[in-house]
Amino acid sequence: MSEISVRSFQLNDFDAIHELNKQEGWHQLVEKKDETFHGWINSEPALVLTKNDEVIGYLRGLTDGAVSLFVCELLIRSDHRGHDLGQRLIEEAHNCYPSTRVELLATSESEGYYSQKSFRTFYGFRKSAEEFV
């Protein structure tokens, strides 16, 4: 029987994470592989979802440990979606910092998922590093 579990990111997980980013079409993370790797080793929480020791999803976040937990990226491999695995990762991250609020950005494709999970919309802005040049 297959075992799905959540654990902390390990350096040897990055190739699988990079491949998931490719499959999802997250080109900026793929094209900036070194920067993305650096982001992973400096992020907390950094969690991977595994099935029989194969990485099938992940959550990379940033937190101050007391007030805010920001989910930078959350991705579940397409053939494992629809089983509340994203929710499981969010809950695991929040359990590490239970006093924090959870904030995340959603794409138009994922907006319905987060709305269904009772996340409220909020307004924000973004500017990429290249836009500061």
pLDDT at 124 exceeding the cut of 90: no
What does the pLDDT read at residue 85? 96
Mean per-residue pLDDT for 84-112? 92
Task: Give the pairing of strands 101-104 and 68-76.
Answer: parallel
pLDDT over 80 at 44, yes or no: yes
Give the model's pLDDT for residue 29: 96
Mean pLDDT lowest for which of 54-68, 74-88, 104-118?
104-118
pLDDT value of position 98: 96
Report the chain's terminal Cα–Cα distance, integer Å: 52
Q: Which two tokens stand for residue 116?
A: 């269904």
